[in-house]
Chain A
């Protein structure tokens, strides 16, 4: 039935002003939550064990701030290793070369199977295997012996394993290598989410596989890769506290606990740790938001979401916002 909107004889019907559905359950919920929040605030304010003034005094001291910097450095380096190596392993996993596929599978299998805490301790103790780490011709002694030369050494440079593999580097490697295994799976899922037609179109234009990956497939895969990577980054921030077992001392949780056990104020320092991790995670969430917005280029600007919103608005009576109670 055609509706003539501009015919003067037919007056526009009066807009609907119906009484909205009541939701008594919500008021009960508000009351219950209100009481619980009040109890919690009461606990925070009155319980002496929190020792707020002590906590606030301590939690921004130089050693703690150094710990914060250490944790952030660890987070950034471990995630960098994880992402770069993860992309490499994902590409290997999707390669036509069976050897590369096998290596990638074995890598993910190993590093996903071993808990990060165990890895951290293991890497911290790798110094037991070698006193020095040196680079050069592999099996040089054995080759020398084969040709009758004793003590044949072909090494370019080296360093003391104990210097390097304790502390920060061991923690970074343990977390980064483990992260790479998880990132590889995320990147693989992202690459596979891109329509096959994209690769075909690029092939038809005469692009090579590496170019297609870099310019066509990966940028589109990012939309699928970024959100779980954000989660991984947040998880990694928390897992930096594991390197306290390497042991790494330049790390947030280690420093807070050190203050706690030195002053016998363990609980306030645990609360301080909670607050610090909340703060840092919130910063990461903001970063994630902007990253996601950047990589949804071409999808978000479609106006498809806006059209859908308009559709929803139309269905619910033409007034957006007012539909809230439904």
Chain B
């Protein structure tokens, strides 16, 4: 649907078999309240998809469904062709064991609004912890790579600092490096800049732009219209648990078709 400048990186041929993320009729309720009322979404490999919408519209919940932090009540979600959270056998769905869910999550990085860094570990330990614990890498190589990742997000000099010694923007950049350490195919960002002081937003967005340029598939829940317009390949506007409209960010932002989108953009622009 969208034509985009595919990053000229590593020279991978465009023989993508299917979308990186496919969601079909995703429903989610918390008790009697239905938060997601049938979400359909496709995100291609290398695409940056921005989810916009008023608070309470279900965008964060949807994001958390993609890596099974929330169990969906109906519908299906596939990431890179794998059904998330369940196994389909003989026309019946079987819940996955905890270890299989964990294995699926390793391919999906997530960045939280409140950073959620491990406060008892230094920046380096935060980044190197999962690869070592999950037996991916030897301690020495993991530490080397963690240092390189921190360097990449511009924190090469903060390796030994504890999260409480870092600013919000720095913490969020460590959190991004931590997610990248697992070499994910997909990155989920849950309002990554909403908890930051205004002057710190830019440094985090820069890291995310850099990632997008490298061809990372990203789904970003955000209120940063500028980021969506500049970096996003697609924009999905959600309200009240449904996708109201979607399309190329520039067009949706310039000419919203739906009244609810217009009303929202009028408030945030």
State yes or no: do A and B come from one complex: yes
Chain A residues at the B interface, C-beta cutoff of 8 Å: 195, 197-198, 200-209, 211, 215-216, 219-220, 297-299, 301-304
Q: List 7 A-B contacts (CB under 8 A).
A: A201-B112, A203-B102, A204-B112, A206-B103, A207-B133, A298-B119, A298-B121
The bracket for how many chain B residues form the interface is 20 to 34
A202 to B129 CA separation, bound complex (whole angstroms):
10
Q: In the assembled complex, which residues on chain A have CB atoms less than 8 Å from the CB atom of B164?
A: 298-299, 301-302, 304
Is residue B36 within 8 Å, beta carbon to beta carbon, of the partner chain? no
Going nearest first, the 7 A-B pairs with the smallest beta carbon separation are: A206-B106, A302-B164, A201-B116, A204-B110, A197-B116, A205-B130, A298-B162
Is residue B22 within 8 Å, beta carbon to beta carbon, of the partner chain? no
Q: In the assembled complex, which residues on chain A have CB atoms less than 8 Å from the CB atom of B179?
A: 204-205
Is residue B98 within 8 Å, beta carbon to beta carbon, of the partner chain? yes
Q: In the assembled complex, which residues on chain A have CB atoms less than 8 Å from the CB atom of B99?
A: 208
Nearest-Cβ distance from residue A219 to partner chain B, whole angstroms: 5
Is residue B209 within 8 Å, beta carbon to beta carbon, of the partner chain? no
Which listed residue, A200, A297, A299, touches B116 by the CB 8 Å rule? A200
A197 to B163 CA separation, bound complex (whole angstroms):
15
Is residue B165 within 8 Å, beta carbon to beta carbon, of the partner chain? yes
- Given known pairs A205-B179, A206-B103, A298-B164, the reply for A220 and B134 (CB within 8 Å) is no
A303 to B163 CA separation, bound complex (whole angstroms):
12
Judge whether B162 and A302 touch: CB under 8 Å. Answer: yes
The interface centre, meaning the residue of A205, A297, A301 with most chain B CB atoms within 10 A of its CB, is: A205
Is residue B109 within 8 Å, beta carbon to beta carbon, of the partner chain? yes
- Given known pairs A220-B120, A298-B121, the reply for A204 and B165 (CB within 8 Å) is no
* Chain B 63-108 residues near chain A, CB threshold 8 A: 67, 69, 98-99, 102-106, 108
- Given known pairs A209-B98, A302-B164, the reply for A204 and B119 (CB within 8 Å) is no
Chain B residues at the A interface, C-beta cutoff of 8 Å: 67, 69, 98-99, 102-106, 108-110, 112, 114, 116-121, 129-130, 133-134, 162-165, 175, 178-179, 182
A23 to B114 CA separation, bound complex (whole angstroms):
48
A209 to B99 CA separation, bound complex (whole angstroms):
9
Judge whether B109 and A198 touch: CB under 8 Å. Answer: no
Judge whether A303 and B165 touch: CB under 8 Å. Answer: yes
Which listed residue, A197, A206, A209, A219, touches B130 by the CB 8 Å rule? A206
A297 to B122 CA separation, bound complex (whole angstroms):
10
> Can you name the residue of chain A whose Cβ is closest to the Cβ of B109?
A204
Judge whether B178 and A205 touch: CB under 8 Å. Answer: yes
A38 to B182 CA separation, bound complex (whole angstroms):
69
A207 to B116 CA separation, bound complex (whole angstroms):
15
Q: In the assembled complex, which residues on chain B have CB atoms less than 8 Å from the CB atom of A304?
A: 164
- Given known pairs A207-B102, A211-B133, the reply for A201 and B165 (CB within 8 Å) is no
Judge whether B69 and A203 touch: CB under 8 Å. Answer: yes
Q: In the assembled complex, which residues on chain A have CB atoms less than 8 Å from the CB atom of B105?
A: 203-206
Nearest-Cβ distance from residue B97 to partner chain A, whole angstroms: 10
Known: A204-B110, A206-B104, A298-B163; 10 extra A-B contacts, CB below 8 A, are A201-B175, A204-B109, A205-B134, A206-B105, A208-B102, A220-B120, A297-B162, A299-B119, A301-B162, A302-B162
Judge whether A297 and B98 touch: CB under 8 Å. Answer: no
A151 to B62 CA separation, bound complex (whole angstroms):
65
A208 to B163 CA separation, bound complex (whole angstroms):
23
Q: In the assembled complex, which residues on chain B have CB atoms less than 8 Å from the CB atom of A204?
A: 67, 69, 105, 108-110, 112, 179
